[in-house]
Amino acid sequence: MNQGKENLDLPKLKLGWDERRTERLLASVHARLDRRKRALRGALTTAALASVVAVGISLRWGPFRSNVSSLVDPASQVASSHSLKLREGSEIVLDPAQSEVRVVEETPSRVRVDVVRGSGRYSVVPNAGRAFEVHSGPVTVTVVGTEFSVEQRGEGTWVEVFRGKVRVTWGSEEAFVTAGESGIFPPSRSAPPPVVADEAEARAARSPQATQTYRSRVARHDYRGAYAVLARNPALAGDTVEDLLVAADVARLSDHPSEALPYLQRVVREHPHDERAPMAAFTLGRTLLGLGRTQEAMTMFGRVRASWPHSPLAEDALLRQAEAASQMGDLATARRIAEQYDRDYPNGRRRAEARRYAHLE
């Protein structure tokens, strides 16, 4: 149950993408903008931009990354944790008192593990000739070689990837989750916050009490609590870039990535000249990619390059386009993008990755 979205077909899985590099780049962009803008008006704005840079579907649709850590973490494993070693070398770590899994099938070509309850951390040995699947209710996570966590949470399944990528499927839908990303599957189908009809209603929705509660929860990184307030008081999303980025983070980091899309789209559409617009567009592309909306994500990454060619994110956006094309099986486009990368960034640090996505290496 590994990164279902970006490496659905394990045989075609590409592990060259380095999410940590992207996050460092986003962090440097944020730092530069923060210096120019001074403090972005208190704890609300600061917390918001910090989490935007951190990105989480992420999901966190990115898929999408979340601030909630997995139950089994290498730094916090308790003495009761048990390690289950499979014959082919992969390993599952869990707490027998809280979790249970069943190895239903283990052959040279396929391994299937069913989650009965709780969570487990999976370290899967790379093997292009063997499919590795983790089933949790209606959700299936497929991997080639990676490290990830799967946990049953009510009616959903929490998936968090630490290394590599996995494909997550439920019914006829699928999503890819890459290193550093996580989310709940199937994703929430809750309706987006309603639109406030008029200014009088908007003022009422922005009551001092609601505003204070919302900002307090954002400052404490209580994104689920903040989302509950935002859903009841949609006008809190505001109209400024800062407010819209906060609302997008609240949606993404509370496992409602699809509800983050309108806020990010408004930043790109209504504030294209703001210094944070390319960052919002790049985050929008990543969120679409995490939701499995690959073609739309590819278009948005193209928008980053076309509208903000001098942005530090332009190079990474081009690579993301190649990755998206590769995921869709469009090698002709992936090769065209790889050739464009060679021309635009002859000494680019991601050249080898772009060529791998295009199957040129």
State yes or no: pLDDT of 47 exceeds 60.
no
- Token pair 């704005």 is found at 45
Whether residue 55 is predicted with pLDDT greater than 80 in this model: the reply is no
Q: What is the mean pLDDT of residues 306-310?
A: 90
Q: What is the DSSP letter of 311?
A: S
Among 12, 4, 329, 327, which residue's Cα sits nearest to residue 143? 4
Helices (H), the chain: 19-37, 42-54, 199-205, 208-219, 223-232, 241-252, 257-270, 277-290, 294-307, 314-327, 331-344, 351-357
The larger pLDDT score, comparing residue 81 to residue 271, is at 271
- Say what the pLDDT of residue 238 is: 86
Those residues with Cβ within 8 angstroms of residue 104's Cβ, 6 or more apart along the chain or in another chain: 112, 113, 114, 135
Percent of the chain scored above 90 by pLDDT?
13
Q: Can you give the pLDDT at residue 29?
A: 56
CB 261 within 8 A of CB 287: yes
Structure tokens at 328: 């869709």
Residues 130-173: pLDDT tens digits?
889 999 988 888 885 577 888 887 778 888 887 778 888 888 88
Burial class from Cβ neighbours inside 10 Å (0-12, 13-18, 19+) for residue 199 reads exposed
Q: How far apart are CA 41 and CA 207, in angstroms?
A: 19
Residue with the bigger pLDDT between 40 and 176: it is: 176
Question: What is the reported pLDDT for 292?
Answer: 86
Three-state SS string over 133-178 comes to EEEECCEEEEECCCEEEEEEECCEEEEEEEECEEEEEECCEEEEEE
Lowest mean pLDDT among 24-28, 196-200, 273-277: 196-200
Q: What is the mean pLDDT of residues 16-29?
A: 53
pLDDT at 287 over 70: yes
Grade residue 175 by pLDDT with cuts at 50, 70 and 90: confident
Tens of pLDDT, residue by residue over 61-109, are 333 333 333 333 333 333 345 788 898 888 998 888 888 889 999 998 8
In three state form, how does the secondary structure of 196-232 look? CCCHHHHHHHCCHHHHHHHHHHHHCCCHHHHHHHHHH
Q: What is the mean pLDDT of the chain?
A: 75
pLDDT for 216-265, tens place per residue? Answer: 889 988 888 888 888 888 888 888 999 999 999 999 988 888 889 989 99
pLDDT of residue 37: 52
- Which domains can be identified in the chain, with CATH numbers? 1-186 (2.60.120.1440), 189-254 (no CATH), 274-361 (1.25.40.10)
Distance of CA 74 to CAs 67, 83, 148, 162, Å?
Answer: 16, 12, 11, 11
- Residue 84 CB coordination number (10 Å): 15
